[in-house]
Structure formats: structure tokens, C-alpha cells
A = this chain, B = another copy of it.
Amino acid sequence: MSFLREISPLVKNTFLSERDVLSICAAQIAAEIQQDERKNYNEVLDLSSGDLHRGGIKSITFVRQVLAACFYPALLEDDSLPLDVKQRADGLLRQCDGGSVGSYTDSCGIVKIKQCVSKFITRRDGGVPSSPDNIFITSGSQMLMLKLLVQSGGSCRTGVLIPVPTYATFTQALEDQGAAIIPYHLCEEQGWTLQVEELRRALHAGRRTCNPVALYICNPGNPTGIIQSRKSIEEVIRFAAEERLFLLADEVYQSCVYGEDTEFESYKKVLSEMGSTIASTVELASFNSASKGFMGECGLRGGYVELVNLDPAVKEYTRTLFSTRSSPPVGGQIALDLMTDPPKPGDPSFLTFSEVEVFGEIPGISCQPLKAGFFVFPCLHLPLRAIKWAKKKQMEPDMLYCLHLLEETGLHVRPGCEFGQRKDSYHFRFDTMEDALQRLKTFHKQFMKEFS
């Protein structure tokens, strides 16, 4: 274990998070592999960011062909590209000023693409109307919405309810904006479900120190891999209505849903069916991204937010906030167009999708089944000796596990302490790739033996 000795001072360093430390180690191992200094595996498998392409999964040909033709329109004359690719690229270029993807666009996004997103939402929600006017295309981050919320909080510090465990980037962004984080715990024993009682407890606790204005939900869940039932969504909406909370629905995994009886229903759709008082008053922002779903185009930076029930003045203000930024990247905008209006059956580029493997069983690990999203969040039942050893090294026990896993197998995953978890429980976030699963199984048995 070449670097485990040196690592704990790094972890204590305020500048380096667990994430940084693991990344540095992963890079070091990769360099060692290149110099033939490692024998037991021949590549680091990076499962740390939920990045399909990094994990080696292929991009969708249609998407890449359209992008190439948009960037280099001479390809529109090329016989090797399918007709629907050329038509789509040609149509998109007509929407760009000067016919070029090199132009700035409206800072809320290209109008035609917002229309495309809006039609997609209407189809997704079985006809619930959506207006392009409520769609704001972003570079994949939700920063501006947060800014809006944080600014509208008045004199007391703005609070936002955030699940534990959660997608950490969002929490960091909020803290960055000066917001107070109010944690609510998801119930692991009941499949990481969201309990309104727990929301209420968290809200009341939060009210003692800040001004809670919003509730963030991630559905399908990252890192939990679960999907909320309709009943649960209704409860959350009713709670938000009673407590006058703004709902932030992170629905970026909406098209990753597995199994017969699991179906994604958007907060917007459920809200629209809850009777006119609630349906017309609860404020909602719903996020989606080209980084996830069947696209997996993280590098292009394309996302959008749909605003529901916002006061017209606030919406106008949002537009003003956006207009002080420059355009979202055009490549990302194109990706959104293709994601929300993919080729149809009969089109030359009609897509087929492959199924996703489900997580197996390993002693010392218990795991809620993967229903949706990219990830599961298995619970580690670690031997006491491992826990003690980690504490001695001033390290979280699941961080220790992840470091060993990386060192021994080249699997780069992220420890539960980064996402949040109940005290004295340990987890890691895992991606259900077959190769990764094999490496994990072998390692885990050995680790448990070593520390028991």
C-alpha cells in the first residue's frame, strides 16, 4: 500500500476533500500502471462521477453525427451521413445567428430548442401543458436558480432542505451562495424512501437557525438509485404547499428507470393533478440534463430548468439574471434538442437501448435494489478492527475502504461520507458495471478477512 501511509495528513488538510484525495491516488496509480509498476490490474476504472463515456460506454452515433455536421457544415454534402442527421443539423444551424454554432445565443437558450424541450415535457407528462417561456437552458448547472432563491430570502439566512445522502455538488453550490443546509434523512431500511415526518422534523429544526424557503428532492435518486412513488410525491407536494416551500426537483435521471413496475412520474405532472389550489400555487423548478439519461453527454454541458407557478415578476427577474450571463454552450443546447426529440421508429437513425445489470449479493454489504438512475449506495458492515484502524488514521472508515479498493483493484468509487449518512453507518456509491462488480467481489472478501 504505497500511499496509504502518507494519505491521512492530506485528508486532514482543509483544502483537500475525500474526493480530491481519491482522485490524486487514482492518477498516481494510473501513472504507475503506465510505467509497468503494477501487476494485479491494468487500468483504473473510474466510477467516481457517473460519467458514462469515462466508463467507456459508447456515445450515440446520431448525436455525434449531428454535432459534427453542425460544427463543420461541409459535412452536409457528405454522402456517408444519414439523411435525418443532415436534416436535423441543417434545421439547427438555421436557428443559430449567422447560421453558425460560433455565435452567441439568447442567454436563456435558442428559442427553437426551448420549444423542443417544452414539447418533450408535454409528451412526457401526458399532455400537461408546458411553455417555452418557462424553460431556461443552462450549461448543466443550477447555479442561477439557487442565486434567485438565496437572494429572495430576506434578511435572515436562506435555508434549503437537502436529503442525506445526496449529490454533493448541489450542496456545495448552495453553501457557496451563502445558503444554510437543512439535512433530512432518507430511510435506508425502507429503500431510501422520503418520509414526510422526517421532513417536518428537519424543517422545524431549521427554522430555529435560518429561513427555510426551499426543498430539494433528487428523483430518481443519486446516490440511492431509488424512484419515488406517486403517493410519496403527493405527500411531498402537500407538505410544500402547507409550509410554503419552493420545490427544487432534480429529475436528471428521469429516463434511467429499470424494471416492469417502475415508472417515472414528474413532480410537474403529479402537481398538475392535485386539484386546482395546490396545482396552481406550489412553486416548482424541475431540472434535467443531457449529461444523464441515454445521452450521457457530460462534456457538452447542456441542461435546462422548467419553472412552474412562478410569480410573473420573479420569472421576469430570472430572465434578467440570465441576461447578465452569456449564452449556454451551443453544443450542449444541440444535445438537449436531440435528447428531447430523438429519432423515431422508421427514421434511419432510430436508436436502440441496452438494458442495465442489477447489483448482486455479497456478505458484509447490503444494498437496496437499483430502481432508477445510475447508482446504488450499498451499506458496508465493516469489522470493528477496520473502523478502529481508520479512526487511528483520522479517516472515515468508508474512506479507508475506498482507498484500499482503489489500491487493490483500480476501482475508483466515492465513499458514503461524501454524500452524507447516518452516524456510524458506512456506504460507498457504486455503478453497476459487470467488470467493476467482479473486481469488487474479489477485493471485498479479502478486505473483510484482513480486518476481522
A91 at the interface (CB under 8 A from B): no
A17 to B107, CA, bound (A): 14
- As for how many copies of this chain the complex holds, the number is 2
The size of the chain A interface, using a CB distance under 8 A, is 67
Residues from chain B with a CB closer than 8 A to the CB of A97 are 46, 51, 53-54
A122 in the interface (beta carbon within 8 A): no
| A53/B102 contact (C-beta < 8 A), A68-B69, A72-B64 known | yes
Judged by a CB distance under 8 angstroms, whether A329 is at the interface is: yes
CB distance from A233 to the nearest CB of B (A): 27
Q: Which of A53, A57, A105 has the most CB of B within 10 A?
A: A53
Contact with B along A312-337 (1 / 0, CB 8 A): 00001101110111111111100000
B-side contacts of A100, CB under 8 Å? 53-54, 59, 299
- Nearest chain-B residue to A300 (Cβ)? B329
Q: Using known A-B contacts A68-B68, A169-B326, A172-B324, determine if residue A52 contacts B299 with beta carbons closer than 8 Å.
A: no
Is the C-beta of A409 less than 8 angstroms from some C-beta in chain B?
A: no
The interface residues of chain B lying within 8 Å CB-to-CB of A371 are none
Residues of B within 8 A of A54 (CB): 97-98, 100, 103-104
Q: Is the CB of B299 within 8 A of A101?
A: yes
Q: Is the CB of A329 within 8 A of B327?
A: no
Q: How far is the CA of A299 from the CA of B75 in the complex (A)?
A: 19
User: A173 contacts the other chain (Cβ, under 8 Å)?
Assistant: yes
A170 CA to B296 CA, complexed, in Å: 33
CB < 8 Å neighbour of A317 from B15, B17, B49, B331: B15
